[in-house]
Structure 1
Amino acid sequence: MTTPFNRRAFIASTALAGLGLAAFGATTASTSTPAPNRQPNRLPRWRGFNLLDFFSPDPTHRRGGTTEDHLRWIADWGFDFVRLPMAYPYYLDIDRTRNVTPEDVLRFDPRRVDEIDGLVSLAHKHGLHVSLNLHRAPGYCVNAGFHEPYNLWRDQEALDAFCAHWSLWAKRYAGVSRERISFDLVNEPSMREDMNDQHSARSSVPGDVYRRVALAAAGAIRAANPAHLVIADGNDVGTRVIPEITDLDIGQSCRGYHPGIISHYRAPWAFKDVSNLPEPRWPGQIEWRNVDAATGQTSVRTETLSRAMLEEFYQPWIALKEQGVGVHCGECGCWNKTPHEVFLAWFGDVLDILTTNGIGYALWQFDGDFGVLNSGRADVVYEDWHGQKLDRKLLALLQKY
Structure 2
Amino acid sequence: MAPLFSAPSARRGMNLGNALDAPADAAHALAPRERYLDAIRDAGFDTVRLPVAWSAHAAPTAPYTVRRAFAERVDRAVDAALARGLTTIVNVHHYHELHEDPEAHAERFLALWRQIAPRYADRDPALLHFELLNEPRAALTPERWNVLLARALAVVRESNPDRTVLVGPAEMNDLRALPRLELPDDDHLTATIHYYAPFPFTHQGAHWVEGSAPWLGTSWGADADRGDADRVAAERAAVSDDLAEAAAWAKAHGVPLFLGEFGAYERADLDSRARWTAHVRREAERLGIGWAYWEFGTDFGAFDPATDTWREPLRRALVPDGR
Q: TM-score range by the shorter chain?
A: 0.7 to 0.9
**Cα distance in 2, alignment partners of residues 87 and 167 from structure 1:** 15
| AA at the equivalent of 1:313 | D
Match of 1:229 in 2: 164
- Corresponding position: 1:252 with 2:182: no
**Cα distance in 2, alignment partners of residues 361 and 118 from structure 1:** 24
Secondary structure of the structure 2 residue equivalent to 1:393: helix
| AA at the equivalent of 2:239 | L
Match of 2:2 in 1: 39
CA distances 1:111-146 after superposition (whole Å, capped 9, x unpaired)? 2111110111111110111111111237335xxxxx
Secondary structure of the structure 1 residue equivalent to 2:303: coil
Change (3 A) 1:276 1:70: closer
Change (3 A) 1:161 1:257: same
CA distances 1:123-175 after superposition (whole Å, capped 9, x unpaired)? 1110111111111237335xxxxxxxx712xx1x4211111101211100112
Any residues of structure 2 matched to 1:192-211 within 5 Å, and which? 192=139, 205-211=140-146
**Cα distance in 2, alignment partners of residues 140 and 206 from structure 1:** 11
| AA at the equivalent of 2:47 | F
Deviation at 1:304, TM superposition (A): 8.9
- Corresponding position: 1:358 with 2:288: yes
**Cα distance in 2, alignment partners of residues 105 and 191 from structure 1:** 26
Deviation at 1:314, TM superposition (A): 1.7
Secondary structure of the structure 1 residue equivalent to 2:51: strand
Change (3 A) 1:242 1:248: farther
Change (3 A) 1:175 1:275: closer
Change (3 A) 1:173 1:397: same
User: Do 1:189 and 1:238's aligned partners in 2 also have CA atoms closer than 8 Å?
Assistant: yes
Change (3 A) 1:275 1:189: same
CA distances 1:234-259 after superposition (whole Å, capped 9, x unpaired)? 32211131544245333111113111
Deviation at 1:208, TM superposition (A): 2.9
Match of 2:250 in 1: 321
Deviation at 1:375, TM superposition (A): 7.8
**Cα distance in 2, alignment partners of residues 221 and 215 from structure 1:** 10
Secondary structure of the structure 2 residue equivalent to 1:237: helix
Q: 1:264 aligns with which of 197, 203, 224?
A: 203
| AA at the equivalent of 1:53 | A
Secondary structure of the structure 2 residue equivalent to 1:251: strand
Deviation at 1:224, TM superposition (A): 0.9
Match of 1:114 in 2: 72
| AA at the equivalent of 2:171 | D
So what's the TM-score if we normalise by structure 1? 0.70
**Cα distance in 2, alignment partners of residues 362 and 333 from structure 1:** 9
Match of 2:279 in 1: 349
Match of 1:50 in 2: 15
Aligned residues: 305
Deviation at 1:176, TM superposition (A): 1.8
Any residues of structure 2 matched to 1:155-234 within 5 Å, and which? 155=103, 157-192=104-139, 205-234=140-169
Secondary structure of the structure 2 residue equivalent to 1:139: helix
Q: Which has the larger radius of gyration?
A: 1
| AA at the equivalent of 2:64 | L
Deviation at 1:325, TM superposition (A): 1.0
Change (3 A) 1:275 1:160: closer
My pick for the range that moved more, 118-127 or 231-240, is: 231-240
Match of 1:370 in 2: 300
Structure 1: where are the runs of 5+ without partners? 1-37, 94-101, 142-149, 193-204, 286-301, 377-386
**Cα distance in 1, alignment partners of residues 305 and 278 from structure 2:** 18
Secondary structure of the structure 1 residue equivalent to 2:280: helix
Q: Larger % of helix: which?
A: 2
Q: 1:134 aligns with which of 79, 84, 92?
A: 92
User: Do 1:81 and 1:130's aligned partners in 2 also have CA atoms closer than 8 Å?
Assistant: yes
Secondary structure of the structure 2 residue equivalent to 1:179: coil
My pick for the range that moved more, 316-325 or 122-131, is: 316-325
- Corresponding position: 1:91 with 2:57: yes
User: Do 1:246 and 1:325's aligned partners in 2 also have CA atoms closer than 8 Å?
Assistant: no
Match of 1:277 in 2: 215
Match of 1:69 in 2: 35
User: Do 2:193 and 2:258's aligned partners in 1 also have CA atoms closer than 8 Å?
Assistant: yes
User: Do 2:48 and 2:88's aligned partners in 1 also have CA atoms closer than 8 Å?
Assistant: yes
Deviation at 1:59, TM superposition (A): 3.5
My pick for the range that moved more, 43-52 or 347-356, is: 43-52
Deviation at 1:229, TM superposition (A): 1.6
CA distances 1:45-84 after superposition (whole Å, capped 9, x unpaired)? 421211132112x444482112221111211221111111
Percentage of pairs with the same residue = 23
Q: Larger % of strand: which?
A: 1
Deviation at 1:394, TM superposition (A): 1.2
Deviation at 1:223, TM superposition (A): 0.6
Deviation at 1:321, TM superposition (A): 2.7
**Cα distance in 2, alignment partners of residues 252 and 397 from structure 1:** 24
User: Do 1:320 and 1:327's aligned partners in 2 also have CA atoms closer than 8 Å?
Assistant: no
CA distances 1:312-352 after superposition (whole Å, capped 9, x unpaired)? 22233111232221110111111111011111122221111
Structure 2: where are the runs of 5+ without partners? 224-230
Structure 1 runs of 4+ aligned residues shifted over 6 Å read none
| AA at the equivalent of 1:209 | R
